[in-house]
Structure 1
Amino acid sequence: MNSALSATCHCGAVGITIPAAPDYLNDCNCSLCVTRGGLWGYFSPADVTISGETHGYIRADLKQAALSTHWCAHCGSTTHWTALDPAYDRMGVNMRLFDPAAYARVEIRPIDGRSWEG
Structure 2
Amino acid sequence: MIEASCHCGAVRMEIDTPPDEVTRCDCTICRKLGVLWAYYSPQQVRLTAARNATLVYLWNRMALEFHTCRTCGCTTHWAHVDRNYHRIAVNARLMEPAVLAAARVHELTDTD
Provide the TM-score with structure 2 as the length reference: 0.88
Give the distance between the partners of 1:79 and 1:46, measured in 2 at CA: 17
Cα offset, 1:28, TM superposition? 0.5
Gaps of 5+ in 2: none
Give the distance between the partners of 2:102 and 2:3, measured in 1 at CA: 17
Post-superposition Cα deviations, 1:49-86, rounded to whole Å, max 9, x if no partner, equal: 11121111012xx5x34311101111110000001222
Cα offset, 1:8, TM superposition? 1.4
Residue type at the aligned position of 2:55: H
Cα offset, 1:15, TM superposition? 0.6
- 1:54 and 2:51 matched: no
Q: 2:74 aligns with which of 73, 77, 81?
A: 77
- 1:40 and 2:37 matched: yes
Identity %, equivalent residues:
39
- 1:27 and 2:36 matched: no
User: What is the RMSD of the two structures over their aligned residues, measured on CA atoms?
Assistant: 1.6
Check whether the contact 2:20–2:102 (CA below 8 A) recurs between aligned residues.
Answer: no
The match for 1:87 is 84
Cα offset, 1:103, TM superposition? 2.5
Gaps of 5+ in 1: none
Segments ≥4 residues shifted beyond 6 Å: none
Give the distance between the partners of 1:46 and 1:32, measured in 2 at CA: 25
The match for 1:108 is 105
**Higher strand fraction (1 or 2):** 2
Give the distance between the partners of 2:102 and 2:6, measured in 1 at CA: 22
Structure with higher Rg: it is 1
Give the distance between the partners of 2:55 and 2:43, measured in 1 at CA: 20
